[in-house]
Structure 1
Amino acid sequence: MFAFDFLNARHGDSFLVRWGPQAGRVMLVDGGPGQVYEESLRDRLAQLPPDSRGIPRIDVVCVSHVDDDHTAGLLKLLRQIQRARADQDSDPFAVQSIWFNSVDELVDHVEPGLSASTQEIVDRAGEESGAVKSSYNQGRAIRDAAAGLGLASNPSFDGPLIEGKQTTLHQLQVTVVAPDATAMEELRKHWREARELQDPTVISAAYSDDSIPNLSSIVLLLTHHGRTALLTGDARGDHILAGLRTTGLLDGAGPLHVDLLKLPHHGSIRNVKRDLFENIHADHYVISADGVKHHHPSEDTLRMLVESRDPGDKYTIHLTNKIGFAMSTLDDLHNNRKFEVSVRSPADSALVIRVGDEA
């Protein structure tokens, strides 16, 4: 079984990857913003198969990148476990490990010592920019909470998750597609420019337009018994394609086919161009958004997706929420085309997609 539970994460991301017999193995990817943990994620996790102690087990928590609409729920999860231990209660959830890249770690991977040499500038940027302060505080909080709980950080990767690294987790094959070398070089340039100019606004501006979170976003290709899923976080399309080419997953012989593609950045037009959809074809396209805060997904993104496919192709576009302007655009595009549209029912906490048989 290879299944995905996309929760109503409002304008963010939060979903479960489940695989193996009875889909008993679990990866939690992101935790959504605001009240998502209380509204849907916590109860969904409570239904997971238990470990030998009877505690719902999560094999790995993956933080795609540090941004409130992805991390707020994960912090609440880790803090609930902290409170239980402080009260000498049983852990509410048995989290085995965490996959997480800090921006500092990525910068230092390209140029060792660079992050320490710019720490004072980054701290000043945090004083002047709410975006910098929020991201840095959340990143540190996740790192500290995980360490305090004794969770192994990136145990299968021996360092940050970057382009080309691979591991196998209980028969789930994992290939890291991004951050790619170009993205990490762009991060390094931001930090070096800030250091050379002694100017925290260089970093503040990059956080404010989302470039730093998007550059650091983890992209994973998951494979289980021949079925595949490409999970893109908020990465830019050009970096996704570059990573696929470098890892040999996209070889120029034709588009890469995956069973499931989670669209990057909730379908924002800022992250994609037509070539992303021309080079990656999927049976299931998933958009996690509510259409309220940021007008995601963009109508132009939907048009590029549909127009990249032959009219006779059969595939499904999934929405975690019913979004009027998105539904109207897809309806206009549907003429003489074979694609279907699936929307999470308001009565369901998650949109469940199964792409594999029992195995």
Structure 2
Amino acid sequence: MFRLEMLPAAHGDCLWIEYGDAAHPRRILIDGGPGRTYPNLRARILQVPKAERRFDLLVITHIDADHIEGVVRLLRDAEALGCVFDRIWFNGRDQLDQVPDPAGQPLGALQGELLGMLIADYEHRTGTAVWNLGWPDRLVAIDREAAGLPVVDLGPGACQLTLLSPDHDRLLALKDAWRKALKAAGLTSGDTAALRLRLEAARHLRPLGDALGAVDDIEGADTGDSAELGGFELADALGAAGEAGAAFGSDDSEANGSSIALLLEYPSEQPTVRLLLAGDAWASVLEASIRRLPEASGSGRLALSGFKLPHHGSVRNVHAALLACLDSARYLVSTSGAVFGHPNARAVDLVLAEHHGTSPARLLFNYRSATTEPWAAPERQHAEGFVAVYPPGSAQATVLAL
């Protein structure tokens, strides 16, 4: 059994993975969406008996608000919900200080400081070391000078994860941007008292506990939650730019460049499921990593069960060279179209044009919205040879069952 659920996360990502024994599945959570959609994630957690709310892995791909804020709320709620995380992967201040840096300067970053504080709180409360467990030096990164890509096996009967992004160069670029962001926010690295004050003042990041019932306006005011932090902004703002006229694969955001992207294979030996979970990673970084895999070296293509498009289908995070490395049966798009207007029509059309599978491409959207509606018409699907899948309701997940 293998299921991936794209939870409704507005313009963000929140991926819930269950696999193995259907009665007692293993679980992986990748990102938590923006703060206002956290109730969707919380409701999914509440569907699991409290004694079974254990996750092999929680991945926070990078610091943008639409990926990180829901995790901030989840970590504040973890004790009340009974959630247990065997591993939490996130590159924060301490991890980025491990990257060889010619400048030799320590990192200070508002986003990393906040989430790092909460992960450290979790470790202290549970008495378990989970932060970047399984990685040398507790740094989730690719050393391009090393032979091959980093691989982590989550244990007997579990999946195998190959790291495709980020590499050291992208983390060094982020390190410089974070230092400037912390200075602009008027914060000092390691000042947890100031961080806790900012966090408590942020209404949209409050914990909710384990009570049942509607608790938030889930989709309301989905245009700038981070303003509530009063300068402590967890926003898709580092190098963000519009889509109009942007070139394919032209993302220059330091935050997106630092995104953790993974190739998930299950079972770890002779896998029948292979997913590319790209976060918001750069197309050039993904392509460089995929070309190092034996299946995609030379003119070969990496066969995939599914490809979660990077950056919600942005034109700036796909290009033809990346797609030429892949042979995917399905393409997953996580976005409501809010805030940034994703997915970009040119990006999705490029995906369809470069589809190399023997069967029609399948587009899986987790919202039916103005920005995803253009691919809904059966006439277009028939004429262009693809299938589009939408969730049954506005607050329901799109499920990929393999």
Q: Same fold (TM over 0.5)?
A: yes
Match of 1:337 among 378, 384, 387: 384
Q: Which residue of 2 is the match for residue 155 of structure 1?
A: 133
Deviations, residues 6-65 of structure 1 (Å, cap 9, x unaligned)? 100000000111111116000011111022222x11121122366xxx242222111111
Q: Give the C-alpha shift of residue 109 in structure 1.
A: 1.5
Q: Which runs of 5+ in 2 are unaligned?
A: 143-148, 186-232, 241-252
Q: Which residue of 1 is the match for residue 4 of structure 2?
A: 4
- Paired with 2:384 and 2:357, the residues of 1 have a C-alpha distance of 5
- Paired with 2:161 and 2:49, the residues of 1 have a C-alpha distance of 22
Q: Which residue of 2 is the match for residue 224 of structure 1?
A: 266
- Paired with 1:103 and 1:243, the residues of 2 have a C-alpha distance of 24
Q: Which residue of 2 is the match for residue 320 of structure 1?
A: 366
> Percent identity at matched positions?
27
Are residue 169 (structure 1) and residue 154 (structure 2) matched? yes
Q: Which residue of 2 is the match for residue 143 of structure 1?
A: 119
Aligned 8 A contact 2:99 2:168 in 1: no
- Which one has a larger percent strand, Structure 1 or Structure 2? 1
Are residue 308 (structure 1) and residue 354 (structure 2) matched? yes
One-letter identity of the residue aligned with 2:122 = A
Match of 2:104 among 103, 114, 117: 114
Cα 1:237–1:335 change in 2 (3 A) is same
Q: Give the C-alpha shift of residue 102 in structure 1.
A: 1.8
With 228-237 and 207-216 compared, the bigger mean Cα shift is at 207-216
SS at match of 2:17: strand
Q: Which residue of 1 is the match for residue 192 of structure 2?
A: none
Q: Which residue of 2 is the match for residue 261 of structure 1?
A: 307
Aligned 8 A contact 2:6 2:15 in 1: yes
- Paired with 1:249 and 1:49, the residues of 2 have a C-alpha distance of 40
Deviations, residues 300-341 of structure 1 (Å, cap 9, x unaligned)? 111101111269632310111002243225648535333210
Q: Which runs of 4+ in 1 moved over 4 A?
A: 185-192, 329-333
- Paired with 1:216 and 1:349, the residues of 2 have a C-alpha distance of 29
TM-score of the aligned structures, taking structure 1 as reference length: 0.80
Say how many residue pairs are matched: 322
Q: Give the C-alpha shift of residue 80 in structure 1.
A: 1.2
- Paired with 2:102 and 2:19, the residues of 1 have a C-alpha distance of 37
- Paired with 1:103 and 1:307, the residues of 2 have a C-alpha distance of 41
Trace 1:48-197 onto structure 2 (pairs within 5 A). 48=48, 54-82=51-79, 84=80, 92-102=82-92, 105-106=95-96, 108-111=98-101, 114-116=104-106, 119=108, 133=110, 135-149=111-125, 150-151=127-128, 152-158=130-136, 159-163=138-142, 164-170=149-155, 171-184=158-171, 186-187=173-174
One-letter identity of the residue aligned with 2:36 = Q
Aligned 8 A contact 1:179 1:215 in 2: yes
SS at match of 1:352: strand
Q: Which runs of 5+ in 1 are unaligned?
A: 85-90, 123-132
Cα 1:250–1:180 change in 2 (3 A) is farther
Aligned 8 A contact 1:315 1:338 in 2: yes
- Paired with 1:108 and 1:55, the residues of 2 have a C-alpha distance of 35
TM-score of the aligned structures, taking structure 2 as reference length: 0.72
Instruction: Kindly report the root-mean-square deviation, in angstroms, between the aligned alpha carbons of the 2 structures.
Output: 2.9
- Which one has a larger percent helix, Structure 1 or Structure 2? 1
- Paired with 1:185 and 1:139, the residues of 2 have a C-alpha distance of 19
Q: Give the C-alpha shift of residue 105 in structure 1.
A: 2.2
Are residue 251 (structure 1) and residue 230 (structure 2) matched? no
Q: Which residue of 2 is the match for residue 276 of structure 1?
A: 322
Cα 1:222–1:100 change in 2 (3 A) is same
Are residue 299 (structure 1) and residue 345 (structure 2) matched? yes
Aligned 8 A contact 2:256 2:280 in 1: yes
Cα 1:312–1:62 change in 2 (3 A) is closer
Aligned 8 A contact 1:318 1:341 in 2: yes
Cα 1:312–1:108 change in 2 (3 A) is closer
Aligned 8 A contact 1:108 1:114 in 2: no
Trace 1:24-35 onto structure 2 (pairs within 5 A). 24-35=25-36
SS at match of 1:153: coil
Q: Give the C-alpha shift of residue 191 in structure 1.
A: 8.3
Aligned 8 A contact 2:336 2:371 in 1: no
